[in-house]
Structure 1
Amino acid sequence: MPQPEPRHAHEADLDDRPAPAPVHYAEQSLLGALLLDPHHLDDIGTLEPDHFSDHGHGELFRALRKTPAPGPHGTSPVWLNTVLDTARPHAPGLTAPYLHTLVQACPRPSHAAAYARMIRADHARRSLRSHAQHLAQTAMDTTLPHHVQATVRQADALAQFLDDLSGRFAPHPGSLPRIPPPVPARNTNEDALDEERLLIATATAHPGEASQMRWLLPEDFAHALHATLWQGLTALRQRGDPVDPITLLWEAQHRGLLPHGITPTQLLALLSTPVASPEHWGERILERALLARAQAVAARITAYCDDPANSPHQLITSSRRALADLTALRSRWHQATHPAVPRTARPARTPAPPRAGPPPRTAPLTVRTPR
């Protein structure tokens, strides 16, 4: 039985390449329409070379915009060669046969505006994914000198980009994604857990200072046990009960932390090492929560972008909702790090002295003479 001929390495590589995305064919169709009739450039709206996913397609589009359109009698080989010569220094892979491939790939040149809308939509998706990735990278980069501030600025840039996108794509019904992406778990490294333990111990030793930390919520903690202990501390303060290691131990028992979460001996040992102030550790925990929330928001937006079924307006709506979760935490972080200055009573203003002027006019007295 004859054996099949061995496949060459380059043939296997060509077969293993992923199939082009739908936008690839939209780009080919648009360029084919413009090569057939460059006057369609006036019909496609705002479109830039960097909107194309393929570098060669973008450079060919740039060349089409630079090259003066031919007369009303259609294109000519000379004009096509001029377009190709203009684009080739920036995209050497372009060839004359490929221009003919583009022309044949266009089913309806009159649909050029629709092809351009597809290219803009895919570019919006790629750009949004890039912004989300920058947000995630900034939130994870511990080498930045002002880590949280840099993350906040990147989130603002993402929000501004979404505002710009909303003006380019019209809204439509059904603007929520089909399936929400999973929320990534918090990274519970030992440094984060130590800071949370120190907060619980210090807040127990100084409950008066901890009562001012309304900006810290249980959801900001990386460990569920520490979040429940913080809830117990908050409940004791709100009820006006005494706060000390024994009362917190009793509260922990009623919240079901004993013995599954922590033993009484372990809890009392945890509460025996207060260090610094509750505000210091609370701010550290809130900063970690903000960075973790930024990474989670970036992961959600990236997952939305990776689903090709989502339209641009769906991406805008879902991304704004994801950013709203980060905005709420940012407000509490700003409240913690920039406390409001208490207002002082202003001294009573003394009335201004009267200005010099003519004496007031008075009516003359009427003197009656007796009859």
Structure 2
Amino acid sequence: MTHPDLALRAEQAVIGAALRDPAALDQIAYLTPDRMAHPTNRALMAALVETRTSTPTAPAARIPDLIAQTTAVRGVGSDYLRRLADAAPQPRNIASYARLVQEAAVRRDLALHLDQLRTPAADQRGPEPSLDRLLQRVEPVSQSAKFSDPAPEPYQPRTQQFGGPEVRVDARLERQDVVLADLLQHPEQVREVSTWLYPEVFDTGLRREVYEAIVVVAERDDPVDQLTVEWEVYRQGERYEIEVEVTRDEHPDYLARLATTAVVVGAAVELGREVLAEDIRTQLTADFGGIDVSARAPGTGPKPAAEIQAAGPVPQLQPAPLLQPPPVQQSPTIQPNIRP
């Protein structure tokens, strides 16, 4: 299911990208303001479209001021809009963020229709199990925000507090984190690495799910960043009917930590080979660890079995005498009978 925080972040990414580049709205003309879930975002999207239509040549620096003058939303001013623009992850990828917003809107519509269909009618005998199962696969209809509510703060990943408990992982998991951080920050390596680094080398759970999401997003030719990867993690969790915990307390801002980890370009290739070699060694040890290969070493003989013990001295066997050829029989000499 689509996490509500992810849907809000996708909407803010679209609006922030449009604030920084109003011409980008031409790429997402299909996305109407009513597809936004939050009323503040609906009002801002409508104002952006109106400003783009009325003053198409207005520079991007003036857009926050124009929107603030035409939008009557509590807490929305020029400063708020500029912070919203600065928080946009990748303005050039507005089309991908718009598809995420549209996907979340379709899921909300589907959940609403399913909820209405589940309401028992006068001639209905009982609930429909098929509708119940289908409704479980989409997010339930929740109480939406009201227009009078304050505008949501632009998304900012939580930073690690100094002086708090330091999260330490072993060297093996740290290598996996560096590989993921390099792929997330330099996605041009994903296609090369994914041809030989299979997902099973990562630990089961969050790390493997993040790697699979990165590969899937790259194969779709979508931009690989924190928002798109986290969205794909939740999408895969719904597909395989597993519970994915990315933004829960036990994994606070894991992707944000990967996105801000200092890595050298190419670390994913170098450390990925080490991770792969380590996994192969582990598999070989598990599969062939019980086989004694010392007898195959050059210059060594086979080890005697432990259960065979000598009962006494080995008797000396005399070699058999050589076979002699049979004696040659002398044929009788026949004297010629010579007559005088």
Q: Using structure 1 for the length normalisation, give the TM-score.
A: 0.35
State the structure with more CA Rg: 2
Which of the pair is proportionally richer in helix? 1
TM-score (ref. length: structure 2): 0.38
